[in-house]
Amino acid sequence: MAIEVITREDLNEFRTLLLSDLNAIFNSKPQQQKQWLKSSEVRKLLNISPGTLQNLRVNGTITYTKVGGILYYASSDLEKVLEINKVEATPNLFNRK
């Protein structure tokens, strides 16, 4: 049975390779987000029912495009709606700054 000795140089080389791999992963572009989502995708994304999605359409909260019988929602519009309706956290015992 052969015994392999790991030296400091081996560890430094491993660290360098690991850091370069991690940098490559973190600096890579995120996956392309879909520009248009169907109703089922929006419901899954927001975890809402079909009735709630319909209410959001009817009251003008969420814009949509209808092509034939299919409703499409722009992902950028959904992000805007979420950002506009964001509620800031109030400081408490756990998140004081």
Q: Please write down the HEC assignment for all residues of the chain.
A: CCCCCCCHHHHHHHHHHHHHHHHHHHHCCCCCCCCEEEHHHHHHHHCCCHHHHHHHHHCCCCCCEEECCEEEEEHHHHHHHHHHCCCCCCCCCCCCC
64 has pLDDT over 90: yes
The whole-number pLDDT of residue 2 equals 78
| Structure confidence at residue 29 as a pLDDT band (50, 70, 90) | low
Q: Which of 18-22, 73-77, 93-97 has the lowest mean pLDDT?
A: 93-97
pTM for the structure as a whole = 0.59
Question: Which pLDDT score, from 0 to 100, does residue 1 have?
Answer: 67
Delimit the domains of the chain by residue range. 36-85
- How far is residue 62's CA from residue 80's CA, in Å, rounded to a whole number? 9
- Inform me whether the pLDDT recorded for 49 exceeds 90: yes
